[in-house]
Structure 1
Amino acid sequence: MRYEKKYVVTRLGDEMIKYFESLEYYSYENMDGYERNYFMDGDILIELDIYQNESELILLTAKSNENNLEEFVPKQQRGSLKKGLVEVTNCPRYQSPETIFENIKPFKVVVEGPKGSGKSTVIRFLVKKGVNCRDRDQEVFSNDKIIGFNLDTRADFWKERIHRNPNEYFLLLTCSKEVLEERLSRRTIEGSGYTYEHEVYQNAYEETYDYLKREHELHHKLYKMNNSNLPIRVQKRFAMETIEKMEEHYHRQKTHQKRIQK
């Protein structure tokens, strides 16, 4: 088709689910190593590729002969049903299934943290470096009910969650209260400013991480970055250094599994 854009799906919350439910389902194909679902969004053909390898990458491709797709994803994604789509149209790693299998890291990274901690910036950077990311874990880390539990109970949920999938790692972003207040005050969406809820989440994240670290329960699965006023270049360097640690642990773990199986 004349126009085409590619996006990595990093968020599977209610908004994204509502978007897919609004589409006209077209057909399905079982491909080599991934499944492809076809949808129609008006005059736009949507191809949703779900990879069945350890990265669990989800790639959305929008195609049209008439629509130039310039407004397919709004520039301001907050409040949009398409929040969590990271464009990779011009990124060589995502041009074909072959380049994806060859260049995308063989594990997934969940980026967690309170609103305003810089998750979107880190996720966009990592995705373009070939790291499949998920924006928040709504089952445990961002679950209001679990946030409200006492420390011991909350820590038990975190331990179970980070060890559930051996191919999944977690990066926790934190910020000072002052930085969160300043960042959230700049957002134009109504109700997006700093509230007591943000402080509760921030404190719970810090408290639970510190507890697991003291108890030696991180096991190279959960990492933390204090993102208060860090220059973008420092954020990127720290993020890549963390990915290198994750990859080292991933390969060490696979080697250990192979030895056990012999």
Structure 2
Amino acid sequence: MKNPTPPQAFDALYSFCASALVRQTYLLCGRRELARESVERAFQLAWQRWPEVAVDRDPPSWVRAAAYEYALSPWHRFRPRFRHPEPPPADAADRALLAVLLALPPAYRRTLLLYDGVGLDLPETAAETEASTRAAANRLLHAREAVAAALPQLADPAVLHRRLAEVASAERLRAARAPAVRAGSERRARYWTRAAIAFTAALVGATALTLRTAPTRYDPPVPPGATVQGIPPKAAPGTLSNKQTTLRKKLRSEPANGPERLLPLTR
């Protein structure tokens, strides 16, 4: 196709690697629903960043890395629907291999699947796992040793590669259609855009309300009371003088112990 449009280029990439990526991700996480969700989210992210993904030197690797990161996220263990295990594969040999894979540390499991499952070389595996070549080689050797210790018949890397492909293909996992993934990506982008706008509006409103109701001057707090020193105590009343004694006798001699002008006159 000459000069395809962005939707056409995205659909071509999706058709090329989505189904295989779902099967690979299933070996990585051991959950069918999570494998499909991981691949769908990875392609939704790729569509949101399509100008970046379109010029990447290896778009399938970009999407695969995003899907693997999502599938290995430790937060899935807190989701209610992922707290219970899914039914294992029907074949006993497939169940044994999947159990051995899931028992490996996530970094070892991812390295083993990229090298012996996908078929990447060691530098590509190291780059995709964001590790040095030496670290990727050590992870690969330890993962192979663990698989061989549990399943000696898979000690040969060629046999292990074939069995990984067989286990992944036996599940017959299907990916969603490309237009549905693009539509879901656009819906998510609109949702988060609206959420960001609403949050910004709420923040601006709260700031405006704070500025309007906040005091414009500083009122220092009233200090706690303290004892005042140096004031003489209040003097108690002393004896009455002669003048005060005479006045008291006069007041007591009046009717009702008071002058006439303080009493109502009766007729």
Larger radius of gyration: 2
Q: Higher helix share goes to which structure?
A: 2
- What's the TM-score, normalizing by structure 1? 0.26
- What's the TM-score, normalizing by structure 2? 0.26
